Structure 1
Amino acid sequence: MRARWGRSGLFAGLAALMLGLAPAAPGVAAEPPAPHRTLTIGLSQFPATLNPLLDSMLAKSYVLAFVQRPLTAYDPSWSLVCLLCERVPTLENGLARLEPLPGGGQGIAVSLALRDGLRWGDGTPVSADDVVFSWEVGRHPRSGIAEGELFRRITRIEVTDPRHFTLHFDRVTFDYAALGDLRPLPAHIERARFEAAPEEYRAHTAYDRDPANPGLYDGPYRVALVEPGSHILLVRNEYWAGPAPQFDRILIRAVENGAALEANLLSGGIDMIAGELGLSLPQALALEKRAGDRFTVLTQPGLAYEHLDLNLANPVLADPRVRRALLAGLDRGQLTEALFDGRQPVAATLVPPSDRAAFDPAVPAQPFDPALAAALLDQAGWRRGGDGLRRDGGGRPLTLDLLTTAGDHSRELVAQVIQAQWRDLGITLRLRVEPPRVMFGDTVTHRRFPGMAMFAWFSSPESVPRSTLHSGMIPTAANGWAGQNYPGYADAETDRLIEAIEVELDPLRRRALWSALQRRYAADLPVLPLYFRANAFILPKGMTGLTPTGHQDPSSLWVEDWRWR
């Protein structure tokens, strides 16, 4: 714990002498405090991989934002900005242009220029060849890329010179300039590993085999040390050409238990807790009351959607009547009021109210209705016996499994509330937890959860849910477990709406399509909506420049602005 001195000049002088310093002379202005050179950040999860294209895990996105940059990203004001490129391409500025496709139809060509002076951490220039290589990896059918749709839509990349290139898309979409998934990979390091066996790239990428290799990173920092499951040390990238960050070193410590994370903060073991993956809202509010003189607590509502993924291969959950009954039997309003002081609003669908371009307020959230839930279960053949439990015609009890992340006190409480509320309906819910790196790196990705998995999706503004809802995004062994449609949801109308939203350039017509998708989602319930999370950032007093974004592009993308004295 850092020393905290009283206001007495005598005690201040004694403290300075004890530290080997000279107290300031009376009447002489003291020197301003020196900036901190090392920042230690607490995170509640450890990334399963550091490869930018493999797996979808917020812990990975947060860490990579310090050390590697996407072409474009949404800033804290929700505006699309260039990070590696010079100018965001638009139809208006001529950097995007419509073009006919060879077989008919219309595509779009998007031209970009990389910023001058970009280099990997070993001094190798970042070039259009790295972008082309990333595209080759992302579009390979067996590479196991989590978000492969963008790569498949790019039919070719036309390279003008090492800094200038044009992406040719097979269709015109409203978000053609949102290129956050197209992160350059260092071809001089990764190409040989990929081309040797594309289907085994996941096991051989240098991001996991040699993570401290400087040539893997093009951001203001690079990874210097990885202690799996424990911590990651970042040091300055000497070849970074952008604004210099303040800190010489950033240590990211994973503490996968909320109470232990808070204890480390209070003892001085960490300086701040990331809002993207840190304390639950109740913990943060309680901490603010106890230690508000030492820390600044920022709460940011945004696009984090807490929900229950359902494995629809389970015949019980494949029945829409059971899914509707499960949601009607949840008093989510009481849950959020009791656990989160009502600050995390109940979700009607996957689109939060803060996403104003897409949200439809006319789609109501399913109210708590135990009578409806009971009637639906009866219709589905799950009738209540004398012991209060529901059984099917063969006497099999209605038992379900719920998996969530270990060490997350908030989720554990939510799971227990769900368990108790469904018990009142005659349903037995078995709770199970796994470390996040196991749950997201294997169990969920490979659809190995037998019942339900509770976690959150972080999205960008007006993010089309193709990867999580479209039938073509169901992970299988045949496609290398690519895609994020973990429930295995396949619905022709949902597919049609997703495809129509993507290509509709008119905002008003697109809003109508969004409304139809939300109504379909609320009626069919491919997952069970819970609530929209408010994230709490715990910062040391005197730290400035960190602005929560409220979406999937983390605050660490702008670490150059962070200052702490």
Structure 2
Amino acid sequence: MPRLLATLAAALFCALATPASAERGTAGGAGTLTIGITQFPATFHPTIDAMLAKSYMLALGRRPITAYDPDWRQICMLCSKLPTIENGLAEKEELPDGSEGIAVTYSLHPDATWGDGEPVTSEDVRFTWEVGKHPKSGVAAGEIYRRIREIEIHDEHTFTVHVDRVTFDYNDFALSILPAHLEREVFEADPAQYRNRTTFDAEPTNPGLYFGPYRMVEVTQGARAVFEPNPTWYGPAPAFDRIVVRVIENTAALEANLLSGSIDMIAGELGLNIDQALALEKRHGERYEFIYQPGLVYEHIDFNLDNPILADRKVRHALAYAADRQAITEQLFQGKQQVAHSSVSPLDTVHTEDVPKYPYKPDKAAKLLDEAGWNRMKGGIRHNAKGEPLRLRLMTTAGNRTRELVQQVLQSQWRQAGIDVRIKNEPARVFFGETVTKRKYGGMAMYAWLSSPESVPRSSLHSDMIPSEENAWSGQNIPGFANERMDALIDRTERELDPEKRKKLWAEIQQLYARELPVLPLFWRAQPFVLPTWLTGLEPTGHQFPTTLWVEEWGRKAGG
């Protein structure tokens, strides 16, 4: 879950809490907006699997309880007032075992209504928690649900969340709620099979799944989703009569569809890479608006630590020293994407530069591989004493031209070090929905994490969060990293309320991460938005909450 930093901005709250003068849910007649993205969701269920394509689409029709805004401030979205200890809506409480927890009270927007007319209620929140905490439900971040001791319902719109510990982000509740009136029967029938039978996938155009500005009215698996204004939306009326999100997995084809007019814009969250956008701007800069948004998007390679080759830290270090990441960013991205040395962005207030770094040093890589027992060369490939080749598989999302180029460069650099890397790519919905989630990639998997500021990496680095069949593939610790010191640091960081003390713990997390290297950091991505010159109101965020969460603020210039 994201870590939210500031109090509610009054002006934004008023915009969310006060319905527009226009009829609820009625569009402003701006016509159709067609958006191009590169991935199709593996599922539309908001809490099963973590995939940006899903978040991007669902944000057109749903809202989390809390979020970051584009200025990286903590805000209410579905709630009416952000709870704090200072305003009395959050209170520490003694638990039965003598430890300290916290009770946080939220009120839902009183006019929030599912698209089928059912009100959005406290019971929906409680049901979402029941699903999340169930060991067989397979949600992506089950730990956050298991920390909640109880959700106490006061009335239809007011509830108190009783949490078993006090953390610095106690009022972070970016929950994407489920409609109990549609999902309860499916879930209670067989929790272990719920992820395969949810209404979000069996009937994704059911209006009862949406309460935001738009609702999904049509979907073609793997190709597109169509959204139209939601008549029960409680906020300002959206401008567009229809929004079409088209999925074009090949980025060259995505660019071609933009130039031909088949799509109006390319989303920065899931579109062109920076090299493609820069080249496109040189050729057609007058036709579009280009925005390059730096942010918390971290391109990396997960090492599968169940692989005996990669379980050896010396091999992981050698792979890092044998990869010229600086040359990659200079040659492919004109130096505009900074090499990453840990999982915390230099833009984050808790970032530290004091971490082990792995510059391109092929001699050092060779020495480490020799020490690890890969010291026999046959046909240019290293072998061990048993005659086994140093061979690994590298996977990523098929059709992403830049990722495939990075793969090829790394494959060549590692070949020079005597490492035989075989490339195998898959469509994003398969790669994320099956291969990564279930840790089937065997060797190395290249993709990006997108987070919020000071987002404690419990889900991705704590040993409790390793996905397995036993926990229904819940958790995002895809490498399978298990380190007692990291577990302890994560636990302490979450509970430390003093920002300065917390920053020291964050520094140790980053140092341990870089030293153990369960993941090879590549670079911090800038998000290139390619927008029509007539589009107004779209403001990139640079963090995990997509621009579509504010789609009701988008519009079309007169004459556009």
TM over 0.5: yes
Report the equivalent of 1:290: 283
5 Å matches for 1:500-511?
A: 500-511=492-503
Counterpart of 2:109, as a letter, is R
2:141: which partner in 1?
Answer: 147
Task: Compute the displacement of 1:451 (Å).
Answer: 0.3
Answer yes or no: is the 8 Å Cα contact 1:35–1:564 preserved in 2. Answer: no
Larger radius of gyration: 1
Shift of the alpha carbon at 1:396?
Answer: 1.1
Q: Is the 8 A contact 1:384 1:426 kept in 2?
A: no
In 1, the alpha carbon distance for the partners of 2:376 and 2:505 equals 41
8 Å contact kept, 1:302–1:550:
yes
SS state of the match for residue 118, structure 1? coil
What are the Cα deviations for residues 187-221 of structure 1, in whole angstroms up to 9, with x where unaligned?
00000000000010011000000111000111111
2:345 is aligned with 1:328? no
Distance 2:384 2:556 in 1: 61
TM norm structure 2:
0.94
Counterpart in the other structure of 1:10 = none
**Correspondence 1:101-500 to 2 at 5 A:** 101-180=95-174, 182-356=175-349, 358-385=350-377, 387-500=379-492
Provide TM-score, normalisation by structure 1. 0.93
1:50 aligned residue (17, 41, 44):
44
CA contact (8 A) 2:29 2:241 kept: no
Provide the C-alpha distance between the structure 2 equivalents of 1:383 and 1:547, rounded to a whole number of angstroms: 53
Question: Which residue type is aligned with residue 122 of structure 2?
Answer: A
Q: Contact conserved, 1:305 with 1:456, CA < 8 A, in 2?
A: yes
C-alpha distance in 2, partners of 1:463/1:152?
18
Structure 2: distance between partners of 1:114 and 1:208: 26
Which residue identity does 2:64 align to in structure 1? P
Separation in 2 of the partners of 1:132 and 1:435?
A: 35
What is the percentage of aligned positions where both structures have the same residue? 57
Tell me how far apart the structure 2 counterparts of residues 262 and 385 of structure 1 sit (CA, whole Å).
Answer: 44
In structure 2, distance between residues paired with 1:388 and 1:126:
63
SS of the residue 1:372 aligns to? helix
* SS state at 2:91 partner: strand
Q: Which runs of 4+ in 1 moved over 6 A?
A: none
Equivalent-residue separation in structure 1 for 2:171 and 2:78 (angstroms): 13
Distance 2:192 2:255 in 1: 41
- Give the corresponding residue for 1:4: none
Structure-2 separation of matches of 1:217 and 1:386:
59
SS in 2 for 1:412: helix
Specify the alignment match of 1:71 in structure 2.
65
**1:313 corresponds to which letter in structure 2?**
D
Quick one: distance in 2 between partners of 1:526 and 1:532? 18
Distance across 1 between alignment mates of 2:358 and 2:493: 25
Show CA shifts across 1:135-170 (max 9, x none): 000000010000111111111001100010000000
One-letter amino acid of the counterpart of residue 542, structure 2: G
Tell me the SS of whatever aligns to 2:60: helix
Q: State the Cα distance separating 1:37 from its structure 2 match.
A: 1.4
Residues 266-299 of structure 1, C-alpha deviations (whole Å, 9 max, x = no match): 1110001110000110111111111111110100
Shift of 1:454: 0.2
* Structure 1: gaps (5+ residues): 1-33
In structure 2, how many angstroms separate the alpha carbons of the residues matched to 1:146 and 1:296? 36
What does residue 27 of structure 1 align with?
Answer: none
| In structure 1, C-alpha distance between the alignment counterparts of 2:299 and 2:442, rounded to whole Å | 19
State the SS of the aligned residue for 1:193. helix
Q: Is the 8 A contact 2:356 2:515 kept in 1?
A: no
Q: CA offset at residue 563 of structure 1?
A: 1.3
Q: Is the 8 A contact 2:295 2:524 kept in 1?
A: yes
How far off is 1:110 after superposition? 0.5
Amino acid at match of 1:415: Q
Secondary structure, counterpart of 2:219 in structure 1: strand
> Is 2:376–2:385's contact at 8 Å kept on the other side of the alignment?
no
Q: Residue 346 of structure 1 contacts residue 365 of structure 1 at CA under 8 Å; is this kept in 2? A: no
CA distance in 1: counterparts of 2:249 and 2:323, whole angstroms: 28
- In structure 1, what is the Cα distance between the partners aligned to 2:184 and 2:378? 64
| Alpha-carbon separation, structure 2, partners of 1:146 and 1:436 | 17
Cα offset, 1:364, TM superposition? 4.8
Q: CA deviation at 1:431?
A: 0.5
Following the alignment from structure 1 to structure 2, what is the Cα–Cα distance between the partners of residues 422 and 282? 23
Correspondent of 2:78 among 74, 81, 84: 84
Cα distance, 1:35 vs. partner? 6.2
RMSD over aligned Cα, in angstroms?
A: 0.9
The one-letter amino acid of 1:523's match is: R
CA distance, structure 2, for counterparts of residue 389 and residue 187 of structure 1: 57
> CA deviation digits over 1:376-433, x for unaligned, max 9?
0000000142532210001111011000000100100000010010011011110011
1:12 aligned residue: none
Separation of aligned partners in 1, 2:323 and 2:102: 46
Q: Is the 8 A contact 1:347 1:530 kept in 2?
A: yes
Instruction: Tell me by how many angstroms 1:536 deviates.
Output: 0.4
